[in-house]
Structure 1
Amino acid sequence: MTDFPAARLNMVESQVRVNAVTDGRVIDALGAVPRERFVPLSRQGIAYVDEDVRISDGNPPRFLMEPRVFAKLAQLAAIGPDDLVLDVGCGTGYSTAVLSRLAGTVVALESDEDLAARAGATLSDLGVDNAVVVTGPLTEGYAKQAPYDVIFINGMVSSVPEALQNQLREDGRLVTVLGDGVSGRARLYMRSGGGFSGRDAFDANIRFLPGFEPAESFVF
Structure 2
Amino acid sequence: MTSFARARRNMIDNQLRPNQVLDPRVLEALDAVPREMFLPKAMRGVAYSDEDLALPDGRHLIEPLTFGRMLQAADIQPSDVVLVVGCDTGYGAAVVAQLAATVIALQADDTAAARVQAALDEQKVGTAVVAVEAEPVKGCPAQAPFDAILVLGSLGAVPPALGDQLSEMGRLAAVIRRGRVGKLSLWTKVDGTLGRRELAEAAIPALPEAHTEPGFAF
Give 1:188's aligned residue.
186
Say how many residue pairs are matched: 211
SS of 2:204's partner is: coil
1:213 matched to 2:206: no
Which residue matches 2:65? 68
The aligned counterpart of 1:4 is: 4
Mapped partners of 1:40, 1:213: distance in 2 = 29
Structure 1 unpaired stretches of 5+: 216-220
Q: How does 1:165-184 map to 2 (within 5 A)?
A: 165-184=163-182
Alignment partners' CA distance in 2, 1:18 and 1:151: 25
Q: 1:204 aligns with which of 190, 202, 205?
A: 202
Q: Residue 150 of structure 1: which of 137, 142, 148 is its match?
A: 148
Alignment-derived partner of residue 97 in structure 1: 94
Q: Give 1:116 shift.
A: 2.2
TM-score, structure 2 as length reference? 0.92
Could you list the per-position Cα deviations for residues 120-154 of structure 1 after superposition, in whole angstroms to 9, with x for gaps in the alignment? 11111111111111111112210111000000000
Q: CA deviation at 1:56?
A: 4.3
Q: Equivalent residue for 2:216? A: none
Query: 2 CA distance for matches of 1:117 and 1:54?
Result: 20
Q: Which runs of 4+ in 1 moved over 4 A?
A: none
Partners of 1:131 and 1:95 lie apart in 2 by 10
1:181/1:205 contact within 8 Å kept: no
CA distance in 1, matches of 2:110, 2:198: 33
C-alpha separation in 2, matches of 1:53 and 1:47: 8
Match of 2:129 among 128, 132, 135: 132
TM-score, normalized by length of structure 1? 0.92
State the SS of the aligned residue for 2:153: strand
Q: List alignment gaps of at least 5 residues for structure 2.
A: 214-218
